[in-house]
């Protein structure tokens, strides 16, 4: 099997630069598939190709019908940083171990693709809400061990996607999540379905976290009836959470001389400034408070809120 260096070097050979320019035009929708491209297991072999630009724009931000259609491409270890997709389709493509820094998509559908170990750091536009009547849709996409630090999936649709060892600080906001799977350690992940940025049904969330391990992870604003959570200590679930938070805050207010109670109260009051739907739930890791006294006080407040004692 060719090494990463060998895959890249072929694009810098005598004919490689010409071919790279031809491939770039083809991928931008400006021409036909260039001659001289082989295939790997039914996909066009573009492994290691350098297509970085600032930015690399595909489609037209004002025309939803002018997007590109990438189908059956092998782009493993390619460099395609700062890509901007408008109204496009990406189907049956491999981006494993590729450099895809700062990707942004609008009204684009990605289907049957793999981003295993891809570098997607800073890709705040994997979900961008509605654009000219369309949302980003990720269907049967593998994000396993992809670097998604400081990336977000906002106002989009994810169907049957997998996240193995999701990156620290990955954020999902107001997205429709259907039958997605999360495995391995998940740290500081935020899943927010309160609908404050984009309209979303509290019931639009189904996922399997049973093989994940939460560390300072929170899920807020979705109904959790179709969610399998990890079996671990310190994980707290509040059904119809706004009412539970209000009762817990009332109990904490009755402890004015307890410093840990006042710290817990400040947390809940902040959370209640912009609550989700009354029938939505919340789940978070109590161990994320770091301070044992604060964790114990919060646990006691929630117990009182749910039992009425």
What is the greatest pairwise CA distance in the chain? Answer: 78
Integer angstrom CA distances of residue 197 from 6, 154, 183, 242, 297: 45, 8, 28, 18, 32
Angle in degrees, CA 58, 63, 68, rounded to 5: 30
- Alpha-carbon span 285 to 191, nearest angstrom: 13
In CATH, which of 2.160.20, 2.60.40, 1.10.10, 1.20.58 is domain 1-164? 2.160.20
Which element (helix H / strand E) includes 17? helix 16-27
- Alpha-carbon span 110 to 133, nearest angstrom: 17
pTM of the shown model: 0.92
Q: For residue 225, what pLDDT is reported?
A: 97
Cβ distance 163 to 180 under 8 Å? yes
Indicate if the alpha-carbon torsion angle 241, 244, 246, 248 is positive or negative: negative
Indicate if the alpha-carbon torsion angle 129, 131, 134, 137 is positive or negative: negative
Residue ranges, the chain, pLDDT below 50: none
Q: How far apart are the first and last CA of the chain?
A: 65
Q: How many Cβ atoms sit within 10 Å of the Cβ of residue 131?
A: 17
Q: Where are the domains of the chain?
A: 1-164, 175-309
- Alpha-carbon span 195 to 46, nearest angstrom: 40
Q: What is the pLDDT of residues 104-142, one digit of tens each?
A: 999 999 999 999 999 999 888 898 889 999 999 999 999
Q: For residue 54, what pLDDT is reported?
A: 63
Q: What is the pLDDT of residues 133-150, one digit of tens each?
A: 999 999 999 999 999 988
Q: For residue 289, what pLDDT is reported?
A: 76
Q: For residue 89, what pLDDT is reported?
A: 98
Of 173, 168, 216, whose CA–CA distance to 191 is shortest? 173
């Amino acid at each position: 099997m060719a090494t990463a260096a060998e895959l890249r070097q072929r694009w810098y050979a005598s004919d490689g630069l010409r071919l790279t320019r031809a491939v770039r035009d083809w991928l931008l929708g400006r021409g036909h598939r260039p001659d001289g491209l082989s295939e790997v297991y039914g996909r066009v072999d573009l492994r290691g190709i350098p297509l970085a630009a600032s930015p690399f724009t595909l489609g037209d931000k004002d025309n939803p019908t002018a997007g590109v259609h990438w189908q059956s491409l092998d782009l493993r270890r390619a460099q395609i940083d700062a890509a901007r997709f408008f109204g496009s389709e990406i189907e049956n493509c491999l981006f494993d171990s590729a450099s895809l820094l700062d990707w942004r998509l609008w009204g684009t559908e990605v289907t049957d693709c793999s981003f295993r170990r891809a570098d997607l750091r800073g890709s705040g536009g994997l979900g961008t809400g509605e654009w000219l009547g369309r949302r980003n849709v990720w269907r049967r996409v593998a994000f396993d061990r992809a670097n998604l630090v400081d990336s977000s999936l906002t106002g989009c649709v994810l169907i049957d996607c997998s996240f193995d060892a999701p990156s620290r600080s990955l954020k999902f906001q107001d997205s429709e999540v259907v039958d997605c799977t999360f495995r391995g350690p998940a740290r500081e992940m935020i899943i927010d379905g309160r609908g404050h940025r984009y309209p979303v049904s509290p019931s639009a969330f189904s996922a399997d976290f049973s093989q994940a391990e939460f560390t300072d992870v929170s899920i807020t604003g979705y109904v959790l009836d179709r969610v399998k959570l990890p079996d671990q200590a310190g994980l707290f679930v509040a059904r119809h959470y706004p009412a539970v938070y209000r009762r817990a805050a009332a109990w904490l207010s009755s402890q004015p001389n307890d410093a840990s109670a006042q710290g817990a109260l400040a947390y809940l009051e902040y959370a209640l400034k912009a609550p989700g739907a009354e029938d939505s739930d919340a789940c978070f890791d109590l161990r994320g408070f770091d301070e044992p006294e604060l964790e114990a006080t919060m646990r006691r407040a929630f117990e009182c809120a749910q039992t009425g004692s």
